[in-house]
Amino acid sequence: MSIDAMSGAVPVITIDGPSGTGKGTLAHLLAARLGWHLLDSGALYRIVAVGAEAQGIASSDIAGLCRFAHDMKVVFSPGAEESIRLDGQEVAPLVRLEESGEKASVIAAIPELREALFERQQAFRRPPGLVADGRDMGTVVFPDARLKFFLTASSQERVQRRYKQLKNKGVSVNLSALLRDIEVRDQRDASRAASPLLPAKTAVVVDTTALDIDQVLDRVLAKVGEEFSRTF
């Protein structure tokens, strides 16, 4: 069943949580398993941060950021060799830098920018369904989602995962600086007034500290199977 039988709405599964909980990987795997579309909302904030900066738009220029967010043409091609084209230019390596996440977190606190990205995010909701990954997917962007997950993990574990990812990419990182950066970013994302990072009331909270990604996917698929009365 692809279209929600009760409301006629395209079903959405949201996956929210802080960075390093495995949300992104889980969202990719789940979307592929279900054959649904994928929204990586963090990438949109990252793209605005790096794209606006490249055009000389200051992070304090709210109107400029909103105009950029409204006009930008973005094409996502997820996969092992991820591609993100911004106005025809390949930007995935730049978008995935640690510092781009930091810049994204800063501009993501601007309510007008969140509003400017709202419809673009909702436009990802197309049949047969959508898996949406971010911070406010279940609370603000898709409050009527059929199923909402909120992933957590200890900050030590999240830093270790991020450290391994960066090392695999050949990026040299300082573990204690990384821990500090992640904690600052989490604190900013969770304490901002506009759409702070927090679990939706009905979210299924999954602590991934002691789980590998296959175990997380199994738990999530079990819930999805219950909700949609079938196995995937």
In this chain, which stretch among 64-72, 131-139, 170-178, 203-211 interacts with ligand DC, using CB under 6 A? Answer: 131-139
Residue 128 preceded by cis peptide, ω within 30: yes
CA torsion 89→162→210→201, rounded to 10°?
Answer: -60
Residue 11 or 121 having the CB closest to ligand DC: 121
Structure tokens at 104: 């994204």
Residue from 48, 69, 108, 206 that binds ligand DC (CB under 6 A)? Answer: 108
Residue from 15, 52, 84, 104 that binds ligand DC (CB under 6 A)? Answer: 104
Residue from 134, 147, 149, 161 that binds ligand DC (CB under 6 A)? Answer: 134
Binding mask 13-52 for ligand DC (x = CB under 6 A): ------x---------------------xxx-xx------
In the complex, minimum distance from the CB of residue 6 to ligand DC, in angstroms, rounded to a whole number: 26
Alpha carbon distance 11, 131 (integer Å): 9
In the complex, minimum distance from the CB of residue 71 to ligand DC, in angstroms, rounded to a whole number: 20
In the complex, minimum distance from the CB of residue 160 to ligand DC, in angstroms, rounded to a whole number: 16
Alpha carbon distance 120, 68 (integer Å): 13
Binding mask 50-89 for ligand DC (x = CB under 6 A): ----------------------------------------
Asked whether the beta carbons of 41 and 137 are under 8 A apart, the reply is: yes
Given strand 130-134, what is the order of strands in its sheet?
Answer: 37-40, 130-134, 12-16, 147-152, 204-207
Does residue 101 touch ligand DC according to CB under 6 A? yes
Does residue 161 touch ligand DC according to CB under 6 A? no
Residue 101 or 129 having the CB closest to ligand DC: 101
Contact residues: ligand DC, CB under 6 A: 19, 41-43, 45-46, 101, 104-105, 108, 134-136, 185, 189
